[in-house]
Chains A and B, each alone.
Chain A
Amino acid sequence: MDLRTFFLLCMALILAGCDDNEHAISVDLSRTEQVIFRETPDVITYAYLPQYSHRVSYTRHQALVRYLRKETGLNIRQIFPDNFDQHMKMVGDNKIHISFSNPFIYVKIARRYGAHAFARIVEATKKETFRGQVITRTDNTAIQTLGDCRGKTWIAVDPTSAGGYLFPLGHFFSHGITKADFKEIAFAPGPGGKQEKVILSVFAGKYDLGTIREGALDVVAGKIDVAKIRIVSRTPTYPGWVYAAVKTLDNKSLDKIRTALVKLDFNQKDHREILEAANFVNVIPAMDADFDSVRQLTGRLGMEMDQ
């Protein structure tokens, strides 16, 4: 290779190393405006009790909300309260028009704010009722029976959770175990996702046992190895989750919504997709008396509905 070829090769390599500049769009940042939020009028709000994260809540009920909007022609929008108390308070503040909650919350908001049940669901188990579960780690050999839970640390979903607290508390009570028998009773912290938090806390070994609603393990099946979670006991069944309307919602809209909900047919393909996403198979009409068993349980446990 002579000197000239070497020089040309070097120049080619050097030129190949050069690059072009990117094209830029000129933007004037000096012109500004103030942002103002405007609420959309005539909105009927739909809220799913935040037993799971907002994302799960959205995933489960957004299709249903779209269905209701389409079916009823009403401007229905799903909103996401951060916790059970906020959910109840928003019902009381008339910010949630349609509340989908557990029966324990329902009996509370019915008593406190006059909300009334108009429908309830048939669980994925094809039952109109559901129950709670007492779980522990598979390798926790100290807890084999419900009686072994004495003196252990217990994490529950929320003081207002039905399957995650109320039903297990009643179950313990029925077996002669009171709150005082536990070393510690804790509730899942923070907003939303409380069922998952209970499972993850037990999975991590932070608490000896946890109480969740039946079916919650399926939600975390892809996130943790659920084989390492053992179900110690299951509570008796109680009426399932309930649709309640605030008393300010007009009957015409309520009828449209109830009709549309009851109309959902699992055998119909488009309806089945909506129902599968929401994790139930059917919606049936309901009335306030359907939840008296829950009221009896709270009475037996000495719980005050106004607190």
Chain B
Amino acid sequence: MKPGFREKLLMGFFGLLLVQGLVIFLWFSHAMKASVLDEIKNRGVSTGTSLAVGLVEPMLAMDYLRMKVLMDETTRLGNDIFYTFVLDPDQNILAHTFNSGFPVELKRVNPLNGAGPSSLKLLDTGRQMVYDYAIPITVNNDFLGTLRLGLSQTRAEKVVNQVLVSTIIIILLAIFLAGLVGTLLVNPLIRSVKKLHDSSEQALKGNLDVHTAPTLDRNCWDIMACNREECPAYKNYHHRCWYLAGTLCPTCVEGEYAKKIQSCQHCRVYRKCSGDEIQSLAESFDAMTLSLRGNLSDLKAAEKILNEQKARLQTILDAIPDFISLQDQDGRYVSVNKAFCQILGKPRNEIIGRFNQDLFPPDAAALYNEEDRRILSTGTPLEKENQIKGPNGIKWLHVVKISVSQKTDRPKGLVCSGRDISMLKAVQDQLTHAQKMESVGSLAAGVAHEINTPLGIILGYGQLLLEDVNSEGQVYKDVEVIVKQTKICSKIVKDLLSFSRSNKSVVTDFDVHGALEEVIAVVEHTFSLNHVSIHRGFHGAPLSMKGDKEKIKQVFINLLNNAFDAIDTHGKIYVTTGSVKSGREIRISFIDTGCGIKKDNLVKIFEPFYTTKGPDKGTGLGLSVTFGIIKEHRGRIKAYSPPKTDKTLARGTQFVVFLPTDSN
């Protein structure tokens, strides 16, 4: 855990004091030690010089006793004086303070040449360190001898160490006292800072009703005795009046803090109630939270309105069947409606914030990005029809993209709206198909009319030739082939005429079950030879309708023949009928167990001349004629492969015909 402000402050404070104390101690101790040693050395010189002066008279008088007494007294008075002795100019000892003989080596270690300046050397006696002074004894520059004085450096060091210990204690005491005073001074500051921190945390949590600054005993209404209860500062114990807008004090300048503080500083309320910088900070913080609370209330109200408008707008957008999206200037989707989500098959939260490359295949995304870039750079709207493959199949969309302009040069984004025109496209296709069929029908009718007559002549002459030639000969066989093929052509022409509705209809009321039985009776035997059985599932009641019975029977024959062709051998054909739409429509279903039709081919099977059968097995007009007859009767026909109503069949085809009971 990192140290807090208080710990850092105190650590820094004590650290600084410690470093300062250490530096002061080392410098002071160094200077003091040098000073004390210098003082001791100077004292040695001073004592020695004094003694040397005092020794002049005894030396002149050769009074050895006085010399000895003087030196003994000096040694006795100075606790740290180790020894003294006097040498004459010939280096003979005149007097000394040693009790048991004079140390021989001592005489030569600190020689003094003539009456020059004194000499100081540090001697190591083995037991202690001694400062040895050699001081000349002179009278009027005449050299009488040398005074040697030994001052114990060990004792001097002891004195220095005592002073150093005292210094350390004083410095430590000073640091402790400074720390104590610093702590006492820092504590209120830390408390104030902590209170500010707590208040700011409360504010961050949303509680803006914090009171950081201390309350005052007397505030403006009390000091000024104004009794203006309508003033916002009146009886406000937590905020100083100069932080409050709209106060009624006559000396106040109207407005917020920045405007009125200058006038307030001359007011006696300010002089009495303003505190130190920390209190000012706490008061500013309280005023800031007060102001923030007001601003937040306004913001929340505005946010509420905005949210309502946003929800309303989203509802409107979602209610629009067209898809709508809004992208920002970088191509990021920022808003979409429900229809857009449905087209993409993704929820809104998976679309918002994404780009084209996140939502579309790479090729489509690249195309859309290029379009977006061009629109954003040129500002030219884009309108196009777009085919997309969605989860529900292929769809056609009419898309419009418009850049959203703003005051700056660069567009703010672009809006894309699109409409599903798949139904329109289907209707267009059907219309086109109907027009094509109508054209084909007209063409076929014209051709059939022109071809029917020569075919009739060819057939007539062919049949005449058959009567004239030997039925066993080759000619007969050849003519017979011509007659047979001519009949086929005649049948085609007849179908073409039927497809083009060129032949007239005979409308009667008839029973659909009866028509079905008539047709089944014709083909059932033939089918059974190929092991194809027909199973009936007729409605319980007769299903009567108004229409051309023969054409309806042709529809049934075509559908049964197609089922038989799909089965080839060994299969079943289920024929069922029903009444739908409250008896207003008859439903006839043909299900075979044949090879079935590929899904891609299902949409083409009603086109003229389209067949999946082999050569010489179909003309491609059966289902087209069937489609035309049913359409003529205002009915519908649908094809399913595999069958829709019988899930037990994995293969096969089901044709369902819906015929109105009254085709008129």
A and B found bound together: yes
Would you call B60 and A18 a contact (CB within 8 A)? Answer: no
Would you call A25 and B61 a contact (CB within 8 A)? Answer: no
* Residues from chain B with Cβ under 8 Å of A57 in the complex: 60
Would you call A32 and B124 a contact (CB within 8 A)? Answer: no
* Residues from chain B with Cβ under 8 Å of A28 in the complex: 103, 105, 125-126
Would you call A24 and B122 a contact (CB within 8 A)? Answer: yes
With both chains docked as a complex, state the minimum distance between the C-beta of B39 and any C-beta of chain A, in angstroms.
16
Contact mask for chain B residues 271-313; partner A; CB cutoff 8 A; 1 contact, 0 none: 0000000000000000000000000000000000000000000
With both chains docked as a complex, state the minimum distance between the C-beta of A212 and any C-beta of chain B, in angstroms.
21
Would you call A32 and B102 a contact (CB within 8 A)? Answer: yes
Q: In the bound complex, what is the Cα–Cα distance between A28 and B139 (angstroms)?
A: 33
Q: In the bound complex, what is the Cα–Cα distance between A118 and B93 (angstroms)?
A: 38
Would you call B22 and A14 a contact (CB within 8 A)? Answer: yes
Interface size of B as a range: 35 or more
Residue of A nearest to B29 (CB): A17
Would you call A29 and B56 a contact (CB within 8 A)? Answer: no
Main secondary structure of the interface of B (DSSP, over half): mixed
Would you call B61 and A82 a contact (CB within 8 A)? Answer: yes
Would you call B139 and A37 a contact (CB within 8 A)? Answer: no
* Residues from chain A with Cβ under 8 Å of B94 in the complex: 37
With both chains docked as a complex, state the minimum distance between the C-beta of B340 and any C-beta of chain A, in angstroms.
58
Q: In the bound complex, what is the Cα–Cα distance between A69 and B22 (angstroms)?
A: 67
Chain A residues 1 to 54 lying within 8 A of chain B, measured CB to CB, are 10, 13-14, 16-19, 22-35, 37, 53-54
Q: Which of B62, B63, B103 is close to A31, meaning CB atoms less than 8 Å apart?
A: B103
Interface size of A as a range: 35 or more
* Residues from chain B with Cβ under 8 Å of A18 in the complex: 26, 30
Residue of A nearest to B139 (CB): A58
Contact mask for chain B residues 566-606; partner A; CB cutoff 8 A; 1 contact, 0 none: 00000000000000000000000000000000000000000
Would you call A53 and B57 a contact (CB within 8 A)? Answer: yes
* Residues from chain A with Cβ under 8 Å of B34 in the complex: 19
Would you call A32 and B104 a contact (CB within 8 A)? Answer: yes
Does A55 sit within 8 A of B, measured CB to CB? yes
Q: Taking A29-B125, A32-B102, A32-B103 as contacts, is the C-beta distance between A81 and B61 under 8 angstroms?
A: yes
* Residues from chain B with Cβ under 8 Å of A286 in the complex: none
Q: In the bound complex, what is the Cα–Cα distance between A24 and B33 (angstroms)?
A: 18
With both chains docked as a complex, state the minimum distance between the C-beta of B570 and any C-beta of chain A, in angstroms.
100
Does B98 sit within 8 A of A, measured CB to CB? yes
Does B253 sit within 8 A of A, measured CB to CB? no
Would you call B23 and A13 a contact (CB within 8 A)? Answer: yes
With both chains docked as a complex, state the minimum distance between the C-beta of B330 and any C-beta of chain A, in angstroms.
43
* Residues from chain A with Cβ under 8 Å of B401 in the complex: none
* Residues from chain B with Cβ under 8 Å of A29 in the complex: 103, 105-106, 125-126
Does B461 sit within 8 A of A, measured CB to CB? no
With both chains docked as a complex, state the minimum distance between the C-beta of B157 and any C-beta of chain A, in angstroms.
11
With both chains docked as a complex, state the minimum distance between the C-beta of B45 and any C-beta of chain A, in angstroms.
16
Would you call A35 and B104 a contact (CB within 8 A)? Answer: no
Would you call A13 and B27 a contact (CB within 8 A)? Answer: yes
Q: Taking A17-B27, A79-B62, A80-B60 as contacts, is the C-beta distance between A34 and B124 under 8 angstroms?
A: no
Does B19 sit within 8 A of A, measured CB to CB? yes
Does B96 sit within 8 A of A, measured CB to CB? yes
Contact mask for chain A residues 226-242; partner B; CB cutoff 8 A; 1 contact, 0 none: 00000000000000000
With both chains docked as a complex, state the minimum distance between the C-beta of A48 and any C-beta of chain B, in angstroms.
11
Would you call B122 and A25 a contact (CB within 8 A)? Answer: yes
Would you call A80 and B109 a contact (CB within 8 A)? Answer: no
Contact mask for chain B residues 97-114; partner A; CB cutoff 8 A; 1 contact, 0 none: 010111111100100000
Does A195 sit within 8 A of B, measured CB to CB? no
Contact mask for chain A residues 104-131; partner B; CB cutoff 8 A; 1 contact, 0 none: 0000000000000000000000000000
Residue of A nearest to B140 (CB): A59
With both chains docked as a complex, state the minimum distance between the C-beta of A216 and any C-beta of chain B, in angstroms.
19
Residue of B nearest to A81 (CB): B61
With both chains docked as a complex, state the minimum distance between the C-beta of A117 and any C-beta of chain B, in angstroms.
25
Q: In the bound complex, what is the Cα–Cα distance between A26 and B29 (angstroms)?
A: 27
Would you call B60 and A31 a contact (CB within 8 A)? Answer: no
Does A192 sit within 8 A of B, measured CB to CB? yes
Q: In the bound complex, what is the Cα–Cα distance between A29 and B97 (angstroms)?
A: 13
Q: In the bound complex, what is the Cα–Cα distance between A16 and B104 (angstroms)?
A: 41
Does A62 sit within 8 A of B, measured CB to CB? yes
With both chains docked as a complex, state the minimum distance between the C-beta of A186 and any C-beta of chain B, in angstroms.
23
Does B491 sit within 8 A of A, measured CB to CB? no
Residue of B nearest to A66 (CB): B142
Contact mask for chain B residues 50-86; partner A; CB cutoff 8 A; 1 contact, 0 none: 0000001100111110000000000000000000000
Would you call B60 and A54 a contact (CB within 8 A)? Answer: yes
Q: In the bound complex, what is the Cα–Cα distance between A25 and B57 (angstroms)?
A: 33
Would you call A55 and B60 a contact (CB within 8 A)? Answer: yes
Would you call B23 and A25 a contact (CB within 8 A)? Answer: no
Instruction: Tell me the B residues contacting A by CB distance below 8 Å.
Output: 19, 22-23, 25-27, 29-30, 33-34, 56-57, 60-64, 93-94, 96, 98, 100-106, 109, 121-126, 129-130, 139-140, 142
A-B contact pairs, 14 of them (CB 8 A): A10-B19, A17-B23, A18-B30, A24-B129, A27-B124, A28-B103, A29-B125, A31-B103, A31-B105, A34-B101, A55-B60, A58-B142, A80-B57, A82-B61
Instruction: Tell me the A residues contacting B by CB distance below 8 Å.
Output: 10, 13-14, 16-19, 22-35, 37, 53-55, 57-59, 62, 78-82, 191-192
The 10 closest A-B pairs by CB, nearest first: A17-B26, A32-B101, A24-B124, A54-B60, A29-B103, A80-B61, A80-B60, A24-B122, A35-B93, A17-B30
